[in-house]
A = this chain, B = another copy of it.
Amino acid sequence: MSKTSTIKSRASGKATLASVAARAGVSAMTASRALSQPERVSDAVRARVGLAVAELGYVPNRAARALASAQSNVIVVLVPSLSNAVFTAVLEGIEDAIGSGNYQLLIGNTRYSDAEEEKLLGIYLQSNPDGILLSSLSQSARVARMLAASNVPLVSMMDLGSAPGQLSVGFSQFDAGRAMTRYLIGKGHRRIGFIGAQLDERTLRRADGYRKAMDEAGLLDARLELMVGEPSTIALGAQLVQRMLAQAPDCDAVFCCNDDLAHGAIYQCQRRGIKVPEQLAVCGFNDLPASAWMTPSVTTIATPRYRIGFEAASLLLALIKGEAPPAAQVDLGFTLMARESA
């Protein structure tokens, strides 16, 4: 006569909405409403259901909810790196914007790899996300196809898009690269080298901005460019400044595509007795915390990474709610921090 005499039960044994409802003396429906739309239920019911939930230690089953409602409450975020402080700041902005909602963030680290991005997206799309946040404007053909087929709302971060209908939050990497180069030119430098690593989309755009400024000033010279595919590190910056000086001994300034590289370059100069900025001006990009504290302090571009994450997530949330985006592109700008190193 026992209720537990069922033979082939697949039940988890945990409290379910049905058990909560039974305990509260209402239907499953009403229990469901008491939890998700408490204002649409009588005070008495709300109290009884709340009590039953506590007594049973009920934890809603997200999979069941997702399946029944066709709403996952999942937001996918793809970043190219976690070891880069830029993207962890973006993530914090996203977290804060998502805030108190019942959203679940699915964070994917693509490691600057198309294959990895494809793999992660393939897995994450199985969760039927409500929205996607990407750290790039373009992607591999396969990823682009997956994205299009999924039909999930999407916002790009870090740069500004131009394709119609493409939503993006960031700043112009091109303009920032050009602004820094013009600054160096304005300081009287003529043989300005560009050191680029990783060679991701953003680095390439900064390099384009550098070239544009150099060209406008009649200073463009391919021998002043040093581009390598390896990930940016302090060690690599130290190594590349050496190579730059070897390939262009008359180089009087170096524009590093990010601060890690710039820090490494400066540390290396210190070791080799090269005075910064007197003998060689060095500047970076992103304004990591150490840049303001090092000696010499580092001239760089401060980027609104936290705000990019925050605004991009806010925009995505609006999209998910079905609101029309106020603008396709949100330009958050950048700030050139003129310090001692250049």
Which A residues fall within an 8 A CB radius of B? Answer: 10, 12, 57, 59-64, 66-67, 70, 72, 82-83, 85, 88-89, 91-92, 95, 102, 104-107, 109, 123-128, 149-150, 233-235, 238, 260, 263-264, 267, 270-271, 289-290, 293-295
B263 near A293 with CB under 8 A, answer yes
B104 near A124 with CB under 8 A, answer yes
B92 near A82 with CB under 8 A, answer yes
* Chain B residues whose C-beta falls within 8 Å of the C-beta of A107 in the assembled complex: 105, 107
Highest count of chain B CB atoms <10 Å: which of A89, A270, A271, A294? A294
A127 near B92 with CB under 8 A, answer no
User: Within the complex, what minimum Cβ distance (angstroms) separates A112 from chain B?
Assistant: 13
A289 near B233 with CB under 8 A, answer yes
Closest to A116 in B: B95
Closest to A104 in B: B123
Q: CA–CA, A128 to B60, complex, Å?
A: 9
A61 near B67 with CB under 8 A, answer yes
A62 near B293 with CB under 8 A, answer no
Q: CA–CA, A89 to B67, complex, Å?
A: 35
B234 near A263 with CB under 8 A, answer no
Q: CA–CA, A12 to B66, complex, Å?
A: 12
Q: CA–CA, A12 to B151, complex, Å?
A: 12
Select which of B62, B105, B128, B235 is within 8 A of A289 by beta carbon: B235
24 A-B pairs within 8 Å (CB atoms) are namely: A10-B70, A12-B128, A57-B149, A59-B150, A61-B67, A62-B63, A62-B126, A62-B127, A62-B128, A63-B64, A63-B67, A63-B128, A64-B67, A82-B91, A95-B109, A102-B123, A105-B107, A234-B289, A234-B290, A235-B293, A238-B293, A260-B289, A267-B295, A290-B290
A61 near B293 with CB under 8 A, answer no
Select which of B64, B85, B234, B238 is within 8 A of A83 by beta carbon: B85
User: Within the complex, what minimum Cβ distance (angstroms) separates A308 from chain B?
Assistant: 15
User: Within the complex, what minimum Cβ distance (angstroms) separates A43 from chain B?
Assistant: 24
